[in-house]
Homo-oligomer: A and B are copies of this chain.
Amino acid sequence: MSALTHHDITLLLLGLAILLAAARILAELAQRWHQPAVIGELLAGIILGPTILGALWPSVQQVLFPDTGPINTALHALTTVAITLFMMVAGMEIDISSVWKQGRAALIVGVLGIVIPFAVGFVPAWFAPSALGAKPDSDPLVFALFLATAMAITALPVIAKILMDLNLFRSELGVTIIAAAILNDLFGWIIFALVLAVMGSSAADMPVWQTACLTLLFALFMLTLGRWALNRVLPWIQAHSSWPGGVLGFALACALLCAAFTEFIGVHAIFGAFLFGVALGDSQHLRQRTRATIDHFVSFIFAPLFFASIGLHVNFIRSFDLTLVLIVVALASLGKIVGCTLAAHWAGFPRKEAQAIGFGMNARGAMEIILGLLALQAGIIGDRLFVALVIMALVTSLTSGLFIQRTFRGKRAVRFIDYVSAKTFMPELQARTKQDAIKALGTLAAQSAGIDAEDAVSAVWRREQIVTSAMGNGVAVPHARIAGLKLPIVALGFPSSGVDFDPPDDVPVSVIVLILTPSDANELHLSLLADIARVFQNERMARRLGEGARNLTELRAELNVETSSRLHA
C-alpha cells in the first residue's frame, strides 16, 4: 500500500522544507525592499532548480527535485492543489459589487484597459508568431489569442499592495484602479479559459464548441445563481456545524469540486477554483476570521510552494532570449500603459493621475506567471517565451511601484516606531511626575540626536504647559519642534507607576511617546501624531505594550502583529 518508499518520503519532506523555507525567506527580503513577495518566491525556485543549483551541483538538485519518478509526481500533485487553492483565494479578493459602485470611470478603464493591450498583443502575434517565440507546430489563432490575453491581464494583488504601501488604497484614485483591475481580471480569465477550451477540448474528448459553451455557462452560473446560493447556504452551515470547521471544509471541498469540473471540461482546474472563490468571497456571511484563516494558510504556505516550484523545471539562463524579453516587455507596457492612461483621461482624471492609473494597471505579477505556466503546460508556448513572460511580469510589477511612488513623491506611510531606537526606548521609566518623565525621555532623545538636552527638554515642557499632551487611551505625546534638527527623534517610555498627565478620559498614562521634529517638517510631524493615534485607538494597546514589550524587538513584534491583524481582520 506504500506508493512512496521510506527513502522517497524522507526526500519529499526534506525538499518541501527547503523549498518552503527558501521561498518564505526570499519573499520576506523582497517585501523588505517593497517588492511583491512573488519575486522572492520565484527566485527561490530558480536558485533550487536547474538554473543555479542544477548547474553547480546537478546530482543534489536531481535527488531533491527529480524530473521523473514518484517524488516528481508527489510534488506535482501538491503544487496543483496549492495553485488551485491560491486561485480560490485570488477569486475571493474580487469584489464584483465594488465595480458597480465605482461606475463609469472603472468601467471605461477596465474595458479599454483590456481591449487596447489585447489588440496590441494580438496583431503582432498573428502576423509574426515566430518572432514572438511561437512553437512552429502551434495553432496561430490559439497562439495569438493567448499572447493577446497575456498582454491584457493585470495583477490585482500586486496593485493592491502597491496602493496600500503608498497609502492610496482608500483614495478615489486607488479605488478606481482596483475596480478596473477587478473587471480586467474577470474578463481576462474568462477569455483565457476560452483559449484553453479551444486547446483543451481534444484532451477532454469534446468538440470545441461544447467546451466553450460549458465554460461560459459555468462562469455565468457561478457569477449569478452560484453566488446567490452560496450566500444563502453559508449562514445555515455556520449555524449547524462546528466553527470554523464547517465553513472551511465546505469551501475547500467545493473549490476542489469546481476545479475538477473545469479540468474535466478541458479548461484548467484553477479556473473553477477561481470562479468559486469569486462567488464565495462576495457573500457577506463569510466571516473575516474564516477568510483570514484560509488566506493566511494559502498565501503563506501554498502560494510560496507553488511559485517556488515554477523555477524547479525551467532553466532561466538557458532559455533567456534578450530580444524576445525586450519585445514582450515593450509590447506589454505599451499596450497597457497607453491604453489605460487614455481610458482614464477620457473618464475624467487629470493627466498625472491618469498616468498613475496606466502604470498601476501595468503590474502583472503572479497572474501573468500562472497564465504563462498553463500555456507552457498546454504546449501553446515554449520555454523561451515562458521565461520572457515571467521576466515581463516582474519588470512591470517593479516599475509600476516605482513610478507611482515617484509621481506621488514617496508618500510612504509614516510609522513612529521607525524613529525609535534601542537608545531612546525606556521600558522601565522611573518617573513620578510629568516633569520627571519629560526630562528623562527628552534627554535621551536629545543625546541620540546630538543636540542640547536642556534646550530640548525645556521646549517640550513649555509646549506641555499650554495644554496636556495626553491623548486618552493611556497615551501621552509630549512634543516640540527643534530648529536645526535633521530627522525626527522619538523616545518611548513606560512609566513603572502612574504619572499624572491629566488625560481627557482618566485612563492612567502607561505609554509616553516624546517626539522631537525639525521645525520645518510640518507634515511629517502631523503624520507621526496621526500614526500614534491610529496605533493607540483603544486602551488595550497601551496596556499590552506596557506589560509585554521589554525590549525593542518585543516592541516591534507587538506593533507588527497589531497592525497586520488589523489589515486582515
**Residues of A in contact with B (beta carbons under 8 Å apart):** 1-4, 6-7, 9-14, 16-17, 20-21, 23-24, 27-28, 31, 37, 67-68, 70, 72-78, 80-81, 84, 200, 203-204, 235-236, 238-246, 248-250, 252-254, 256-257, 259-260, 263-264, 266, 269, 285, 287, 289, 292-294, 296-297, 299-301, 304, 313, 376-377, 553-554, 556-557, 560-561, 564-565
Report chain B residues within 8 Å CB of A376.
Answer: 1
Given A238-B561, A249-B301, A557-B238, A6 contacting B243 (CB threshold 8 A): no
Partner of A301, one of B3, B252, B299: B252
B78 touches A77 (CB 8 A): yes
A263 to chain B, nearest CB (A): 4
List the B residue with the shortest CB-CB distance to A258. B17
Classify the secondary structure of A's interface with B. Answer: helix
B304 touches A28 (CB 8 A): no
List the B residue with the shortest CB-CB distance to A554. B235
Cα–Cα distance between A149 and B333 once the two chains are bound (Å): 65
A394 to chain B, nearest CB (A): 20
A42 to chain B, nearest CB (A): 16
A21 touches B253 (CB 8 A): yes
B1 touches A313 (CB 8 A): yes
Cα–Cα distance between A73 and B254 once the two chains are bound (Å): 23
B263 touches A6 (CB 8 A): yes
Report chain B residues within 8 Å CB of A13.
Answer: 80-81, 84, 256-257, 259-260, 263, 269
Cα–Cα distance between A233 and B116 once the two chains are bound (Å): 51
Report copies per complex.
2
User: Can you list 25 residue pairs at the A/B interface with Cβ under 8 Å?
Assistant: A1-B67, A2-B377, A3-B72, A4-B80, A6-B203, A13-B256, A13-B259, A14-B260, A24-B246, A28-B242, A31-B242, A70-B73, A73-B74, A74-B77, A78-B81, A235-B553, A238-B557, A238-B561, A239-B556, A239-B557, A242-B564, A248-B297, A248-B300, A249-B301, A285-B557
Name the residue in A23, A264, A285, A296 with the highest tally of chain B Cβ atoms < 10 Å from its Cβ.
Answer: A296
Given A28-B246, A235-B557, A3 contacting B73 (CB threshold 8 A): yes
Report chain B residues within 8 Å CB of A80.
Answer: 4, 9, 12-13
Report chain B residues within 8 Å CB of A266.
Answer: 6
Cα–Cα distance between A259 and B75 once the two chains are bound (Å): 17
B3 touches A565 (CB 8 A): no
Report chain B residues within 8 Å CB of A76.
Answer: 2-4, 74
B556 touches A244 (CB 8 A): no
B249 touches A21 (CB 8 A): yes
List the B residue with the shortest CB-CB distance to A250. B24
Report chain B residues within 8 Å CB of A301.
Answer: 248-249, 252
A260 touches B554 (CB 8 A): no
B560 touches A243 (CB 8 A): yes
Report chain B residues within 8 Å CB of A9.
Answer: 80, 263, 269
A284 to chain B, nearest CB (A): 10
Given A68-B3, A239-B556, A257 contacting B12 (CB threshold 8 A): no
Partner of A299, one of B239, B245, B269: B245
Report chain B residues within 8 Å CB of A1.
Answer: 67, 313, 376-377
Q: A10-B260, A238-B560, A249-B300 are in contact. List 9 more A-B contacts (CB 8 A).
A: A3-B76, A13-B80, A21-B250, A23-B249, A28-B241, A78-B81, A236-B553, A239-B557, A245-B296
Partner of A81, one of B16, B246, B560, B564: B16
Partner of A565, one of B4, B67, B264, B289: B289
Report chain B residues within 8 Å CB of A264.
Answer: 10, 14
Report chain B residues within 8 Å CB of A269.
Answer: 9-10, 13
Cα–Cα distance between A532 and B333 once the two chains are bound (Å): 61
4 closest A-B pairs by beta carbon, nearest first, are: A74-B77, A24-B249, A17-B256, A245-B300
